Amino acid sequence: MRYWIVIGLLYFLSICFVNCSSPEAKERKKIEKQEKIDSVALIYDKVKEDKKIADFMLKLHSKSGFNGNVLIAKGKTILYQNSFGWANYLLKDSLKIDSKFELASVSKPLTALGVLLLVQEGKLNLKQTVNEFYSDFPYEGITIEMLLSHRSGLPNYIYFSETVWNDPKKGMSNVDAMNLLIEHKPARYGSPGGSFHYNNSNYMVLASIIENVTGQDFGVFMKERIFKPIGMKNTAVLSKAVYEKIPTDVVGHDKVWRRSVVQNYLDGPVGDKGVYSTVQDLFLLDIALKEGRIVSQELLDSAYVPRSDAKKSLFSYGYGWRTFSPNAAQVVYHTGWWHGFRSLYVRDLTNDITIVLLTNMANGSLLNLDELYEILGMPILRQGAYNSEGEMVNN
């Protein structure tokens, strides 16, 4: 009897050893450890809030009509976070700090990150052309690098599809958008590798290539490979091609409250938009990028290199990031505007400052931030603040 007890105990211990040492178990432990670290980073004591930032945000809300969420951090410390206004004006329901907003074009840096992850793993090469993944794609010579930096010359599917998509209530998928380009062959805007032309088609195609290479839905890939490892628990890719009504409590409004924006077929394609997230999750993304937890520092640095036709000598575009380089400082950021949502995600890499502003009222409130930049001691991030030589001008 004692012999069999010992054998059973050894068998049990061996099973525990295998389970605890499996790649899946190690990954679970890694994620659990990171969750504890993230929970500390997200601690915010409102009593210790930065008074100058608080006063500025209250003024932005009351005088400029900012309705949304904000988080501002220095390093891994949140200086200020808050929610202002309604998630859905008709329901008069207040926003919460974990309310999910459509990021609009702030989705692009995330799509670019997914591409760079596959590059790091040797599953993609920046010099590969779209035709290597879609043999009947009618625009030859367009590389992944050109898509990332908006130098593909592709037509914009958003404008073109208005004339050929018959059901505005049915969500268009990325497959649908690709097939429309292949079937109808609308004219290019420019030649491959030519001038910079900001264009949603580029990032819709990149998301389609990710699906082609991985065999996964873009949303599933992003959740498993980007969002989950970073700890972005309240972030997801949501498409009207999947959901009859995208499951979010935050409704976009166009300039005035009485005009809430109805989702339509263009809320289907993703990659160029379609990521829903929170201010806190984007703060965790900033930390993860600085710590090199998704892709190497070398690849990240390549994403921050200006690759477009610079505006006013300071503003350009890298791989998924807008770039701003005043006085040897380095700022990467992205803006977003889509169906009643506006967003701004700023990462001042020199001063280690993070700014996240997400709003569901598409007015001009995010254009009035000069005072905030001055409070934070960072360069003013606004093209109109500089002349053609990149020098500050008096307004």
* Residues tagged active-site: 105
| Contact (Cβ atoms closer than 8 angstroms) between residue 97 and residue 68 | no
- Across the chain, the runs of DSSP E, i.e. the strands, are 68-74, 77-84, 86-88, 93-94, 101-102, 236-237, 275-277, 315-317, 322-324, 331-338, 341-348, 353-359
| Contact (Cβ atoms closer than 8 angstroms) between residue 226 and residue 294 | yes
Can you list the pairs that 325-332 forms with residues at least 24 positions away whose Cβ atoms lie under 8 Å?
A: 326/379, 326/386, 326/390, 327/379, 329/378, 329/379, 330/304, 331/378, 331/379, 331/381, 332/303, 332/304
| Contact (Cβ atoms closer than 8 angstroms) between residue 152 and residue 144 | no
| Contact (Cβ atoms closer than 8 angstroms) between residue 354 and residue 73 | yes
Can you list the pairs that 256-261 forms with residues at least 24 positions away whose Cβ atoms lie under 8 Å?
A: 257/86, 257/89, 257/361, 259/340, 260/88, 260/89, 260/90, 260/340, 261/339, 261/340, 261/362
DSSP at 140: T
Measured CA to CA, the distance from residue 275 to residue 110 in angstroms comes to 8
End-to-end CA separation in angstroms for the chain: 90
Measured CA to CA, the distance from residue 267 to residue 275 in angstroms comes to 11
Measured CA to CA, the distance from residue 273 to residue 174 in angstroms comes to 12
